[in-house]
Amino acid sequence: MKQVFLQIHPKDNILAALQDIKKGFTVNFNGSSFETIDVVRTKHKFAVRDFEKEDEIIMYGALIGRATKPTAKGKSITIDNVVHATSDYSASQRKLSWQSPDVTKWKNRTYDGYHRADGSVGTANHWLIIPLVFCENRNVEVMKSALMKALGYQTTTDFIVDTETLIEQYEKGASADELLNSNIIRTPEDIKQNRTFKNVDGIKFLNHQGGCGGDRNDSETLCNLLAGYVTNSNVAGATILSLGCQNAQFKLLDAAIKKRSPNFDKPLYVLEQQQSKSKRHFIEEAVKKTFLGLIEANKTERKPAPLSHLILGLECGGSDGFSGISANPALGYTSDLLVALGGTTVLAEFPELNGVEQELVNRCETKENAEKFTKLMYIYSERAIAVGSGFESNPSPGNIKDGLITDAMKSAGAAKKGGTSPVTDVLDYTEKVTKKGLNFL
C-alpha cells in the first residue's frame, strides 16, 4: 500500500501528509490506530496525540510551535490551532561531532573551470557592468541594449525567445496557426554558436537603488557588496559607471576590492559621467572599453580543476511543505559530500534558521563562531521586533497554503540545506568566504 503519511523525526508528535487524506482515514502508527478528524491536505500535518493549550508541537525533532487550543489526535495542524514557538539557545552549549560521508569514488574527479590569479577556480566567466549609484541605472540599461543581442547573449539563463522570426513570418503573410506553431525558442547551444566571445559566458548588469542618500555607512556597505561580485571567481572583469557626486565613490570600492584581493589584476574600467563631454561620449567610451575587456576575458579558457575548488551557495528558492523532506535534504547531502572533498559550501539567509539555532551552534568548530552566530540571530530578531514584526511573520500566504504554518517549521526544513557537517565560519553581510567547509552567511 502506498505510504500516505510520514514521521520525519522519532521525536515528532505530528505527521506529514504525503497525499490528501480523507476525514475518517484510519492511521496505523507506532502500534496504535486512530482516525483523522478532518481532511488533511497534501504537505500539511496532523496530530498523533491530544494537545492541550500551550503544549509543544515538535517537528524535525525541534520545537516549531505551541497549541493555542485543545486539539484532538487526528486533527489537522493549522494556523487556527498552532502558533510559532522556538527553544532557547546559547553559545555555551556547543557540542561538535560529525561522521563524514564516504567520498572515495569522487576523490579524483575534476571539473572544467576558469583559473584565476588568486588561486580560485570559477565555474563561469562573466563580465560585470556596475553602477556606483542608482542615477546610472538608465545608462546601464542603454549598455545592455547595445551589447547583449549584438554579442550573441541572452537575458535568461536557459533559453531566448526569437521574436524576429515571428515578425518575418507575419510580414510574409503567415496565418495565425502558422504563427502559433512556429519554433521561436533558441537553446543555449544555438546561442553559444552565435557568440562573438566563445569563452565569455555572459554579461551581468547589477542595477541597484543605492549609492547616495541614507548615511555614509550604506554606501560603504554597498561598495563592500560590489567588491564581492568583482572579486568573485566567476567574474573576469568589470565596467564601473560613476556619476561623480554620489556617496559611493570609487575609492571606497577600490579599497574594498584590495581588502578582498590585495593582488587584484582583473580588467577594471571606471568611467565618471560628470567628467565626460556628454552622455553620448560617456556611453560610447563605456561600450568600447567593455568590448576591450571582453577581448581579454575571452583569452581565458576552461581547464580541469579538483572538486575542492568548488564553492556552492545554498539558498531557498520557494519553500513548501515538502521542501524539508525532499530538495533541502538532497542539497544538504551534496553539501556534506563537497565538504568531505575539501570544498566550500555557504548556507545563506539567517532568518531561515530561526528555531534550530542550538543545533547549528552545536556544529560550530570554534566558540567564537558560535558566539557570533547567536549574536547575529539575536540582533536580527531585535531589529525585526523594532519595526513591528518578528520571525513569526516570516511564512508567506503561499507558505501557509502549502503546509508551512510557522517560521520555525519553515526554518527547520530550510536548515537541512546545510547538511550535517561542522560550521567552519560565520559571516556577516558582505564578509568574504575564506575558509573551506560549511560557512553561514
Buried b (16+ CB within 10 A) or exposed e, 321-339: bbbbbebbbebbeebbbbb
Cell representation of residue 38: 478532518
What's the pLDDT at 201?
94
Asked if 331 and 424 sit in the same domain, the reply is yes
Residue 161: pLDDT above 90? no
Whole-number average pLDDT of the chain: 93
pLDDT (0 to 100) of residue 2:
81
- Tell me, yes or no, whether 241 lies in a domain: yes
Q: Is the domain of 201 the same as that of 328?
A: no
**Alpha carbon distance 319, 131 (integer Å):** 32
End-of-domain residue from the set 253, 269, 299: 299
Residue 315: the pLDDT is 87
In 172-214, which residue ranges form alpha helices assigned H by DSSP? 176-181, 188-193
Residue 367 lies in a domain: yes
Residue 265, in any domain of the structure: yes
Flag whether pLDDT at 317 surpasses 80.
Answer: no
When pLDDT is cut at 50, 70 and 90, the band that residue 95 belongs to is confident
Whether 388 and 262 map to the same domain: the answer is no
**Among 254, 271, 299, where does a domain finish?**
299
Query: Mean pLDDT across the stretch 164-181?
Result: 93
Cβ atoms of 413 and 355 within 8 Å: the answer is: no
Q: Are residues 277 and 348 in the same domain?
A: no
Residues 132 and 233 in one domain: yes
Could you give the angle at the alpha carbon of 334 between the alpha carbons of 332 and 336, nearest 5°? Answer: 70
Distance set, CA 409 to CA 62, 423, 435 (Å) = 9, 22, 30
Please tell me the predicted confidence (pLDDT) of residue 19: 96
CATH number at residue 209: 3.40.50
* Residue 227 and residue 143 share a domain: yes
More confident residue, 299 or 98: 299
Tell me whether residue 245 is in a domain.
yes
Least confident window among 20-34, 75-89, 143-157, 246-260: 143-157
Give residue 80's pLDDT. Answer: 95
Q: Specify the pLDDT at position 7.
A: 96
Can you point out the beta strands (E) in 294-430? 303-306, 311-314, 344-347, 423-426
Which DSSP state fits 357?
H
Final residue before a domain boundary, out of 299, 318, 342:
299
Q: Name the band, by pLDDT with cuts 50, 70 and 90, for residue 142.
A: very high
C-alpha dist (Å) from residue 167 to 144, 155, 162, 170, 179: 22, 20, 9, 5, 9
147 and 272 both lie in a single domain: yes
279, part of any domain: yes
CA distances from 128 to 212, 234, 286, 400, 426 (A): 21, 10, 12, 38, 27
pLDDT: is 158 or 181 the higher one? 181
Q: Is residue 170 part of a domain?
A: no
**Whether residue 395 has pLDDT greater than 70:** yes
Q: Read off the amino acid at residue 311.
A: I
Q: Which residues of 286-320 are buried (b: 16+ CB within 10 A; e: fewer)?
A: bbebbbebbeebbeeebeebbbebbbbebebeebb
Identify the pLDDT of residue 191.
64
Query: How many whole angstroms separate alpha carbon 201 and alpha carbon 298?
Result: 9
136, 251: one domain: yes
Query: Is residue 10 pLDDT above 90, yes or no?
Result: yes
Domain limits for position 25: 5-83
The residue that leads in pLDDT, 28 or 193, is 28
- CA–CA–CA angle 93, 94, 98 (5° rounding): 145
CB atoms within 10 A of CB 120: 17
* Single-letter amino acid code for the residue at 98: W
Q: Specify which residues 260 forms β-bridges with.
A: none
Residue 176 lies in a domain: no
Q: In terms of C-beta density within 10 A (0-12 exposed, 13-18 middle, 19 or more buried), how is residue 430 classed?
A: middle
Where is pLDDT greater, at 155 or 370? 370
Whether the pLDDT of residue 159 is over 90: the answer is: no
Angstrom distances, CA of residue 302 to CA of 57, 118, 188, 202: 51, 16, 18, 15
pLDDT of residue 157: 62
Least confident of 35-39, 150-154, 236-240, 356-360: 150-154
Q: What is the residue type of 415?
A: A
What percent of the chain lies above the pLDDT cut of 70?
97
Sheet architecture: strand order including 45-47? 5-6, 14-17, 45-47, 76-77
Using pLDDT thresholds of 50, 70 and 90, give the confidence band for residue 124: very high
| Residue written as grid cell 517560521 | 407
pLDDT of 1 > 70? The answer is: no
CATH number at residue 30: 2.30.130.110
Give the pLDDT of residue 389.
Answer: 87
Where is mean pLDDT largest: 49-58, 87-96, 213-222?
Answer: 49-58
| Residue 38, pLDDT score | 95
Q: For residue 387, is pLDDT > 70?
A: yes
Residues 389, 324, single domain; the answer is yes
Q: Provide the pLDDT confidence category of residue 92 given band limits of 50, 70 and 90.
A: confident
Alpha carbons 141 and 124: distance in angstroms, whole number: 23
- What is the predicted pLDDT for the residue at 125? 98
**Cα–Cα distance measured from residue 441 to residue 439, given in angstroms and rounded to the nearest whole number:** 6
The total domain count for the chain is 3
Considering the domain boundaries, does residue 58 fall inside one?
A: yes
Residues 42 and 66 in one domain: yes
Q: What is the pLDDT of residue 349?
A: 82
User: Same domain, yes or no, for 430 and 384?
Assistant: yes
**Whether residue 199 sits in one domain with residue 142:** yes
Q: According to the model, what pLDDT value does residue 290 have?
A: 98
pLDDT at position 187: 76
CA–CA distance, 209 with 99 (Å, rounded to integer):
45
